[in-house]
Homo-oligomer: A and B are copies of this chain.
Amino acid sequence: MATTQSSTKKRKSASSGANGAKPDVPGVSAEKLLEFYNQMVYVRLFEEACQRAFRQGRVGGYLHVYIGQEAVAVGLLDTYQPEDRVITAYRDHAHALLLGSPPNEVMAELYGKGTGIVKGKGGSMHLFDVPNGLMGGYGIVGGHIPLGVGMAYAMAYQQTGGIVQLYFGDGAIHNGAYHEAANLAGLWGKSGMNPTLFILENNQYGMGTSVERATANTDLGSKFASYGIEHEKVDGMDVVAMNEAAHRLSKQVRETGVPFAIEAMTYRIAPHGAADFLEKYRSKEEVKEARKRDPIGLLEQRILDAGAADEEALETIRKANKEIADAAVTFAEESPDPDIAELYTDVYADSPEVHSA
């Protein structure tokens, strides 16, 4: 492996259950619903803490949160196997947290601290947790898509049995990098050499540009079909639907080495980035309407309707996760800045190493 294995520490947070062995087909047991709830709330409360820290000027650079889209990553990453790899763009906190990255280290990264998950070098857009399968967080729209396809090739070549979960947005799909990568995936898939599960997080907007304003063919499935990639649209606000599709399709990709694409229909409830104040490109009503299908709200209702838990149990979960987020903030705030010598490490393999705390 070219990925250095220095940080082999295994992580478990109160809310993380993503790394355990998974059944092939998930039941929607009460236990499972609560697990999802726990994870979605975990992400949501963490993201809200990030937003606060950004507004307070404690987090710099760009910050893109996952609020509104939680069901997508929660449903999908539930199928994660240790031999799998996950890659996404800059809206990457949820993926790290759900794969088991320590929330403290994720938050510390946003604070640019030496205890950050990538040593404070990358910030919000570049979370990596290779031991837990996260091959990064990337900032250039479209740019990571070919990487994911290449990883899948490597995994087929090495016969690891793993798949790549490759996340990208409805804005990214119009970028040339997507086109070239999707075509390669389709082509390599013909000989079973591309176990990529494409996950189009269609949150309706690329920054301020709606899907209708970005392409004449808004049936984005056509943009997989033209490369011979089979695809399916899934309600990205419904974690159970996401999860069902995820199990079924990740199994198929794993067994065949042929790529498949899930278009997760979701909505970015939060602004594009924490600095996107005006939101002139959408109406307040539209956001309000979308909130009615907030994935956490929907799940809550389902849990209560099914009698899987009562409001008090849910409150307990929320409280536990709030504590995790708060603790992460405290950890980040109290962590030291990176050692200045770290500026020069990690440029090349033989860059000077730093041996300080």
A226 located at the interface, meaning its Cβ lies under 8 Å from any Cβ of chain B in the complex: yes
Q: CB of A175 within 8 A of chain B?
A: yes
Closest to A178 in B: B179
The chain B residue sitting closest to A146, CB to CB, is B176
A186-B216 CB under 8 A given contacts A176-B175, A177-B176, A180-B174: yes
Taking the complex as formed, is A271 at the interface, i.e. its CB lies under 8 A from any CB of chain B? Answer: no
With an 8 Å Cβ cutoff, the count of chain A residues facing the other chain is 24
Cβ of A187 < 8 Å from any Cβ of B? Answer: yes
Closest to A220 in B: B226
- Which residues of B sit under 8 angstroms from A183, Cβ to Cβ? 174, 214-216
Closest chain B residue to A189 by CB distance?
B216
How many whole Å from A157's CB to the nearest CB in chain B?
18
Tell me which of A178, A215, A216 has the highest count of chain B C-beta atoms within 10 A of its own C-beta: A216
In-complex Cβ contact of A227 among B216, B228, B229 (8 A):
B216
Set of chain B residues within 8 Å of A178, measured between Cβ atoms: 179
Interface centre among A179, A190, A215 (most CB of B within 10 A): A179
- Indicate whether A222 reaches chain B with its CB closer than 8 angstroms: yes
Q: Does A351 have its Cβ within 8 Å of any Cβ on chain B?
A: no
| A217 interfacial contact with B, CB 8 Å | yes
Residues 172-202 of A contacting B (Cβ, < 8 Å): 174-180, 183, 186-187, 189-190
Q: Which of A186, A223, A229 neighbours the largest number of chain B CB atoms within 10 Å of its CB?
A: A223
Chain B nearest CB, measured from A184 CB (Å): 9
Interchain nearest-CB distance for A352 vs B (Å): 38
Residues from chain B with Cβ under 8 Å of A313 in the complex: none
Say if the beta carbon of A225 comes within 8 Å of chain B. yes
Contact between A186 and B174, CB atoms less than 8 A apart: no
Nearest Cβ in chain B — how far from A314, in angstroms? 43
Bound: A213/B191 CA distance, A: 12
Q: Name 4 extra pairs, CB < 8 A, besides A175-B179, A186-B215, A222-B225.
A: A178-B179, A187-B213, A187-B215, A222-B226
Residues on A close to B: CB < 8 A? 174-180, 183, 186-187, 189-190, 213-217, 222-223, 225-229
